[in-house]
Amino acid sequence: LQTRLQAGQGYGNTLNCVLTVYRNESVAGFFKGMSFPLASIAVYSSVVFGVFSNTQRLLSQLRHGDPAHAPALADVALASMVAGFISVGIGTPVDLVKIRLQMQTQPYIDANIKLKPTCPRFPVYRGPIHCFRTVLQKEGIAGIYRGMGAMLLRDVPGYCLYFTPYTLFCGWITPDGCISPNPSSIWLAGGIAGAISWGTATPMDVVKSRLQADGVYLNKYKGTLDCIMQSYQNEGLKVFFRGITVNAVRGFPMSSAMFLGYELSLKAMKRDQTETNP
C-alpha cells in the first residue's frame, strides 16, 4: 500500500488503495515483492543493530575507557546515524527490486504521455532474481542503487529518530531501581520510536519510492532534487506526506517486535556466556 500510494496513480486514500488493489489483483496483490525483503531482512537487521551496538561500544571505549559504560545520548544519536549510513548499501537494491515488482502493473501517467500498464499475464519482471538481473544488465550498478541519495536522506536522520527515542522512552518507562527494561517497556518504547521514525521519514520515503519505481517504463526523474521539484510542482506539498498513515501504523508493531527480539536475544546470549564462564 505504501508504495502504491507514494508512486502510483489514481489512489485517493488508503482505503481506496486497499479496495483497488484487491479488486484488480486479489489478495496476492498485497504480497507482491515480498520474497526478496523476506530473504534479506535477517541480514539487514543484523547489520543495522550490529553496527549500532558496536559503534556505541567504540564511542564508550574512546570516551570512558570502558565499552560497557552507558552511552551518552549524543553517542546514541551518532551510532544510529552510522547504522543508517551503512544500512543503505544493503537496503537500496532490496527496496528497488521490491518496488519494481509492486509497480510493474501500474500505468504510467503524465500530462502528455500515457502508457498502458503491462499485462498481468506478461509482467516486465518474472520475479526478484529476474528483476535484479534485468536492472543490472540494462542500467548497471547505478541502476541497482537508483534512489540511494534519497534513501541516505531518509535513513540517516530516520535511524537517529529511531534509536534515540527508543533509548529515551525506555529510560522513562523503566521503573526506578531496575537494571534493564522489562519486555512490556521494550515493546512500548520500540513501537513509539518506530511510529516517530517512519512518520518523519515519509517525505524522503516518497521521493525514494518514486525514483525507484520510475525505471519500470522510462526515467522521468534525473535525480533526487529533480524528483522533489517535479513532485512539488505537479502535486504540491501534500505529495510528500503520501502514505504517512500506513508508515506510522506499520512502524509501531514492526519496531516493537524488532526491539523486543533484539533485547531478549542479547539477554539470552549474555546469560549463556555467564553460565559458560562463571
Residue 265, pLDDT above cutoff 90: no
Query: Range of 100's domain?
Result: 33-145
Q: Strand runs (DSSP E) across the chain, as ranges?
A: 108-109, 114-115
One domain for residues 63 and 124: yes
Q: Containing H/E element for 220?
A: none
Q: DSSP secondary structure string, 21-41?
A: HHHHHTGGGGGTT-HHHHHHH
* Residue for grid cell 519505481: 213
Residues with Cβ within 8 Å of 220's Cβ and at least 6 positions away in sequence, in order, are 110, 214, 230
User: Do both 111 and 156 map to the same domain?
Assistant: no
Cβ atoms of residues 258 and 266 within 8 Å: no
- Given a contact cutoff of 8 angstroms between Cβ atoms, the answer to whether 144 and 92 are in contact is yes
What share of the chain in percent tops pLDDT 70? 81
As a residue count, the chain comes to 278
- Give 236's DSSP letter: -
What's the DSSP call for residue 116?
Answer: P
pLDDT tens by residue, 98-121: 888 887 766 544 434 444 444 444
Same domain, residue pair 187 and 140: no
* CA distance linking residue 12 with residue 5, whole number of Å: 8
Q: What is the DSSP letter of 240?
A: G
- Which residue type does 12 have? G
What's the pLDDT score for residue 105? 66
Tens digits of per-residue pLDDT, 165-215?
A: 999 998 888 766 566 778 888 999 999 999 999 999 999 999 999 998 887
Q: Are 219 and 147 in contact (CB under 8 A)?
A: no
pLDDT band at 1 (very low <50, low <70, confident <90, very high): low
Q: Are residues 162 and 265 in the same domain?
A: yes
Q: What is the mean pLDDT of the chain?
A: 83
* pLDDT confidence of residue 106: 61
User: Residue 146, class by beta-carbon neighbours within 10 Å (0-12 exposed, 13-18 middle, 19+ buried)?
Assistant: buried
273 or 50, higher pLDDT: 50
Domains held by the chain: number: 2
Average pLDDT over residues 234-243: 89
Would residue 12 count as lying in a domain?
A: no
pLDDT in tens, 9-35: 666 667 777 777 777 777 776 767 677
Are residues 128 and 192 both part of a single domain? no
At which of 145, 166, 185 does a domain end?
Answer: 145
